[in-house]
Amino acid sequence: MALIKTIRGFTPRFGKDCYLADNASIIGDVVMGDHCSVWFQAVIRGDVHRIRIGNGVNIQDGAVIHATFETAPTTIGNRVSIAHKAIVHGCTIEDNVLVGMNAVIMDNAVVGRNSVIAAGAVVLENTRIEPGSVYGGIPAKKIKDISQELTRDLLERISNNYIRYTGWYREGEK
């Protein structure tokens, strides 16, 4: 069973039909929408500021979601995929975004909708990621615009697949 911990008077809240892996940790001022999943060894730590997560979000294995004390909350939109071992810290991620494996997004950055942060990229503080674009590198820079086909094929497919995967794990629990 996932670790769900109350701290400073805040208890995490979850929408309907969320999947939490056995060793995921969700702590403090965290509000999650419907049809979300938090996978193995992922940590969502709302101890120092609020974390708000939309609908259909998947936070994959080993990812860390945190914020900065009293200055930088974290807001994640709808249908966002946070890939394995990514770090999302005190920033805003709009709808339909893929944050690649081992990517880092720092305080007060804003990732525009329908975007991809490439694996291993580092989005520095206060960076504004253009909607509909791919950013990569250290520090992250714009690589290209995203086509409508890529938006459907990549961003929507990954989000929908993670909703499907949760069913496999629920069936295994019966």
CATH of the domain at 88: 2.160.10.10
Local confidence band at 47 (pLDDT 50, 70, 90 cut-offs)? very high
What pLDDT, on the 0 to 100 scale, is given for residue 174?
55
What pLDDT, on the 0 to 100 scale, is given for residue 111?
98
Which domain, by its residues, includes 121? 3-173
What pLDDT, on the 0 to 100 scale, is given for residue 148?
79
- pLDDT tens sequence across 68-111: 999 999 999 999 999 999 999 999 999 999 999 999 999 999 99
* Side-chain-facing half-sphere of 114: CA atoms under 13 Å: 13
The DSSP symbol for 156 reads I
Query: How far is 12 from 168, CA to CA, in rounded Å?
Result: 24
> What is the percent of the chain with per-residue pLDDT over 90, rounded to a whole number?
85
Alpha helices in the chain (DSSP H): 148-150, 157-173
Q: What's the total number of domains in the chain?
A: 1
**CB-based contact 8:27 (threshold 8 Å):** no
User: Is the pLDDT confidence value at 154 over 90?
Assistant: no
Query: How far is 98 from 159, CA to CA, in rounded Å?
Result: 9
pTM: 0.95
- Calculate the average pLDDT of the chain: 95
- pLDDT tens sequence across 48-62: 999 999 999 999 999
